[in-house]
């Protein structure tokens, strides 16, 4: 019989009891103040229990078996709006009064309305022509924060032997700083061209798009001989879908509907470290 993990920052006993009754759980195990495990739930009640969980503001994860985190080999993450709280390109544009134009293209791309991510990125980067490099440093130091639970998830994953891959359609100026800060094993993203201390509005080299993200995860999986059941992948936008499809633990974090529909798990209210509650201690 499967297990059902319920999580929320303000987890309420009465809400848990309601879902336990709907799911015909054999027992309830408290994992923390924000998470419980419903033991031996009835899979026939999955649809109703899921609908009520969402209505009650709880994240839910159905698991046929509980593995240890050390069973996994890879934690792969998107950067913008997943690992961190911002879309870096929007904030760079904001420094020069162009956020509205850039953000509109970003949103359309994230929702999957612009099929060619590379083209959407080039259009946005073109709007950054003339922006001083110092603006990028200001975005990192003044606006960029890790999303809740990021530190704990990454630290615990590394302690359990997983390699952590940051793969982003964003920019190296940010991924490299985060790689150093968090001790990430791998980081891939795009390089902005700079001349005389300002951005030219161009991207150097091949763009890391949806296929590029998937290719980098696939290459790491092949090197580590990692099966889909040994991969955790987390993202929020349409350009993460090919990467997420390679992982059994595919996670939509505060994601667009198109992503939530195509992933096994979603974290709509919980922090990134909520992933850890899906594994045995």
Mind telling me the catalytic residues? Answer: 78, 80
Rounded distance between C-alpha atoms, residue 70 and residue 267, angstroms: 21
Q: Return the C-alpha torsion angle 178, 179, 181, 185, nearest 10.
A: 150
Helix (H, G, I), strand (E, B) or coil at 262: coil
* Alpha carbon separation from 226 to 38, 75, 158, 162, 173 (Å, rounded): 29, 11, 16, 10, 29
Place of tokens 């798990």: 265
How many other C-beta atoms can be found within 10 angstroms of the C-beta atom of residue 106?
23
Decide the pairing of beta strands 249-253 and 74-77: unpaired
Strand ranges inside 33-72, DSSP E = 35-39, 59-63
Rounded distance between C-alpha atoms, residue 19 and residue 22, angstroms: 5
Q: Please state the length of the chain.
A: 281
Distance of CA 105 to the CA centre of its chain: 20
Specify burial of residue 195 (Cβ count, 10 A radius: 0-12, 13-18, 19+).
Answer: exposed
Q: Would you state the structure tokens that stand for residue 24, as one six-digit string?
A: 């015909």
Q: Return phi, psi of residue 193, to 5°.
A: -75, 135
Handedness of CA 79, 81, 84, 87 (dihedral sign): positive
């Amino acid at each position: 019989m499967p297990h059902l993990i319920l999580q929320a920052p303000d987890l309420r006993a009465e809400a848990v009891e309601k879902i336990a009754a709907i799911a015909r759980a054999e027992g309830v195990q408290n994992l923390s103040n924000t998470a419980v495990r419903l033991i031996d739930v009835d899979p026939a009640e999955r649809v109703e229990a899921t609908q009520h969980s969402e209505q009650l503001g709880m994240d839910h994860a159905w698991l046929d078996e509980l593995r240890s985190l050390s069973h996994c080999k890879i934690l792969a993450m998107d950067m913008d709006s997943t690992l961190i709280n911002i879309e870096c390109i929007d904030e760079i544009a904001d420094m020069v009064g162009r956020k509205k134009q850039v953000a509109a293209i970003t949103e359309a791309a994230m929702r999957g309305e612009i099929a060619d991510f590379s083209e959407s990125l080039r259009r946005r980067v073109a709007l950054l022509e003339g922006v001083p490099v110092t603006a990028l440093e200001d975005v990192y130091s003044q606006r960029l924060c890790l999303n809740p639970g990021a530190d704990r998830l990454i630290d615990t994953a590394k302690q359990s032997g997983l390699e952590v891959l940051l793969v982003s359609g964003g920019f190296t100026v940010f991924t490299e700083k985060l790689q150093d800060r968090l001790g990430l094993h791998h980081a891939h993203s795009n390089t902005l061209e700079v001349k005389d201390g300002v951005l030219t509005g161009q991207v150097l080299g091949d763009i890391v798009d949806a296929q590029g993200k998937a290719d980098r995860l696939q290459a790491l999986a092949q090197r580590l001989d990692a099966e889909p059941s040994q991969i955790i992948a987390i993202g929020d936008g349409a350009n993460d879908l090919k990467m997420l499809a390679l992982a059994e633990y595919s996670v939509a974090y505060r994601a667009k509907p198109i992503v939530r529909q195509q992933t096994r798990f979603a974290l709509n209210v919980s922090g990134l470290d909520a992933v850890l509650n899906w594994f045995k201690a």
